[in-house]
Structure 1
């Protein structure tokens, strides 16, 4: 699927593809929320899988415009909002929430707002955005709703499962994939080694998809 992706908008990569496969198996007939839609790849994956409705949210104006354009080019009838995570959909509930959030560990806890780094920088442990999703997702799920999110194993899949549990959701890793480091992870390799998040010389990343649902 060809997507328009201007500078500063996250370009769909391996993590998007891994999550899109899971979305395609679960989106049919559900109201879907795509958090951090980027260029709209997951929004379109849900629409193509037969979702009852699809809503995309992104903090970036460029991403919102790119997603709207891509959905129009593919004939997808979806709703796209600009805002911070669940802010634009306060009070609404969804049958499926999907997210490929920023998760790459960064030097500091200060997150960029106006550079490309906002697509991947996620604080010292990579969990600045992940933990917010885990904490708030339950308030936006229908009784039979589910959450699907993807991140690197360096962020701690067990922590994600525990965070969902603390919010009243049962969670598990439903898919794992191993890929070579991309440009950002390669540039952070020394930092990750220093923090003990990867073994010295390791340049293979494990991606995980975590699914959460009501207990």
Structure 2
């Protein structure tokens, strides 16, 4: 891959990351409720999920999803169901308490494994992501390059862009935590409603 082609891909990947999506919203939510450091696990979970989607797309699975109504429908409903479930949990959650040890990384809700898992599942259960990468990546692929090389270049570039963007979101969310302590219930309902809306939109999406 030439430097010029990689720079074009970098700009395109940055534009994709800046598009509002479930993982960005999740980073804001976790950043506000748990603080910046615990949210890093959420961000890395989502980044790993995107890397899996890119690997699947490069391997040709995106073509399978585009051709198979059953496969698309199955993954679509899994992703939609998880987003709706997550949204209902956020909606019902009490206002975040930002005092003292309530934000400690070893609390049950801020468990690193759980936060990593949520970030990963939100990213990897979105079939639109698979289809998008399946349509997006071929424009930059080099015919004689190996799978490992292209995964390193395409996956590595997108993941670094996505991590940087979500770290900024999480950092911003932590700064508004005093306001959220006062209006936390409304924040939970707003973000929970958005998650439910995203899940509903995903459930009604067509190929």
Say which structure is richer in helix. 2
Higher relative contact order (CA closer than 8 Å, sequence separation 6+): 2
TM-score (norm 2): 0.24
Give the structure-1-normalised TM-score. 0.23
